[in-house]
């Protein structure tokens, strides 16, 4: 599959999650594998995984070291820490990712058995699946979607969420208006700003800032005075580097 931009990724991720939710229990292992193959092949989701692993490092360490053969005490300890949907989502990602990367033989109920093992999902496969959807699939969807829609890029490799793209586009529009007020409006300047706006959907923060710096160098932005071009670069760099993060809800 080609590399998707953030909106395309979010749409495909949602479709794959929905397929798992409504699937017959015996089909879920194949579909969860499809989901994680997709997550691991896309640049955006690989970066999201890295961010979640960093932000929930102690929880990941617990998941990495759990022994499934003698796990009751560890399960109790881990479940006591799952006090929010955000933490539940990170837990789900780490545990499913570990199982996905395992060399174990994957039987038909390989993943939904987690609903039974961790949340007493009764003896029926459909009960297991319901618990799996509730405690694993839904929180996983929520935390990934939060990074797609509400998080702000902190490091250079982070991508712009929908919220952060809107904020940067609003800033670009303000800058364009300021340039126009100073008498330097032109079709070229408009096109440069428009391209910067359009590339937010697929460039990470580092690449976007590099593009912005290149477009607004005094030579490249020859239709505005060098001091204005430098001021625009500094203003945008400071704005993007200081985007505040939204709380996870």
CB 28 within 8 A of CB 129: yes
pLDDT band at 186 (very low <50, low <70, confident <90, very high): low
pLDDT (mean) for 39-47:
97
Is pLDDT above 90 for 67?
Answer: no
CA distances from 113 to 36, 69, 107 (A): 17, 14, 10
Is pLDDT above 90 for 179?
Answer: no
Average confidence score pLDDT of the chain: 90
Helices (H), the chain: 6-22, 28-41, 43-55, 57-64, 72-79, 85-101, 113-119, 125-132, 138-149, 162-181, 187-198, 205-215, 226-241
233 and 143 in a common domain: no
113 and 24 in a common domain: yes
In a domain, 247, yes or no: no
pLDDT at site 249: 47
Is pLDDT above 50 for 70?
Answer: yes
Is pLDDT above 80 for 125?
Answer: yes
Nearest one of 188, 190, 228, 236 to 211, comparing CA atoms: 236
183 and 62 in a common domain: no
CA angle 3/5/9 to nearest 5° reads: 85
Share of the chain above pLDDT 70, in %: 92
In a domain, 177, yes or no: yes
Nearest one of 131, 129, 139 to 20, comparing CA atoms: 129
170 and 119 in a common domain: no
pLDDT band at 121 (very low <50, low <70, confident <90, very high): low
pLDDT (mean) for 21-47:
97
CB 46 within 8 A of CB 127: no
In a domain, 207, yes or no: yes
Nearest one of 141, 96, 100 to 114, comparing CA atoms: 96
pLDDT at site 71: 67
pLDDT band at 47 (very low <50, low <70, confident <90, very high): very high
pLDDT (mean) for 9-34:
98
pLDDT at site 219: 59
pLDDT at site 187: 74
Burial (0-12, 13-18, 19+ Cβ within 10 Å), 138: middle
Is pLDDT above 60 for 183?
Answer: yes
pLDDT at site 245: 66
pLDDT band at 180 (very low <50, low <70, confident <90, very high): confident
The model carries a pTM of 0.89
125 and 39 in a common domain: yes
Domain boundary among 118, 149, 180: 149
Is pLDDT above 70 for 221?
Answer: no
CB 3 within 8 A of CB 38: no
Burial (0-12, 13-18, 19+ Cβ within 10 Å), 240: buried
Burial (0-12, 13-18, 19+ Cβ within 10 Å), 222: exposed
pLDDT at site 178: 85
Q: Domain limits at 182?
A: 162-241
Domain boundary among 149, 178, 199: 149
Is pLDDT above 90 for 198?
Answer: yes
Q: Which residues contact 144 (CB under 8 A, 6 or more apart)?
A: 13, 45, 48, 89, 93
In a domain, 156, yes or no: no
Is pLDDT above 90 for 59?
Answer: yes
Is pLDDT above 60 for 17?
Answer: yes
179 and 142 in a common domain: no
167 and 111 in a common domain: no
Q: What's phi and psi for 204, nearest 5 deg? A: -80, 175
Provide the number of structural domains found in the chain. Answer: 2
In a domain, 246, yes or no: no
Q: Pick 96 or 183 by higher pLDDT.
A: 96
Domain boundary among 105, 127, 149: 149
115 and 181 in a common domain: no
């Amino acid at each position: 599959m080609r590399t998707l931009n953030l909106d395309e990724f979010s749409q495909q991720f949602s479709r794959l999650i929905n397929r798992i939710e409504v699937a017959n229990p015996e089909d879920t292992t194949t579909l969860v594998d499809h989901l994680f193959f997709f997550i691991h092949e896309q640049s955006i989701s690989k970066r999201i995984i890295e961010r979640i692993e960093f932000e929930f490092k102690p929880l990941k360490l617990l998941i990495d070291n759990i022994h499934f053969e003698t796990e009751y005490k560890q399960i109790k300890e881990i479940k006591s820490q799952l006090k929010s949907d955000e933490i539940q989502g990170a837990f789900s990602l780490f545990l499913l990712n570990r199982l996905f990367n395992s060399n174990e033989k994957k039987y038909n109920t390989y993943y939904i058995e987690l609903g039974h093992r961790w949340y007493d999902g009764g003896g029926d496969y459909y009960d297991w699946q319901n618990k799996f959807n509730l405690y694993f699939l839904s929180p996983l969807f929520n935390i990934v979607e939060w990074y797609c829609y509400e998080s702000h890029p902190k490091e250079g490799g982070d991508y712009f969420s929908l919220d952060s793209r809107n904020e940067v586009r609003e800033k670009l529009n303000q800058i364009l208006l300021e340039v126009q007020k100073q008498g330097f409006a032109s079709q070229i300047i408009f096109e440069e700003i428009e391209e910067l706006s359009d590339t937010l959907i697929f460039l990470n923060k580092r690449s976007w800032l590099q593009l912005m710096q290149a477009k607004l160098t005094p030579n490249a932005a020859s239709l505005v005075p060098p001091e204005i071009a430098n001021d625009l670069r500094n203003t945008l760099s400071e704005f993007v580097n200081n985007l505040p993060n939204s709380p996870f809800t």
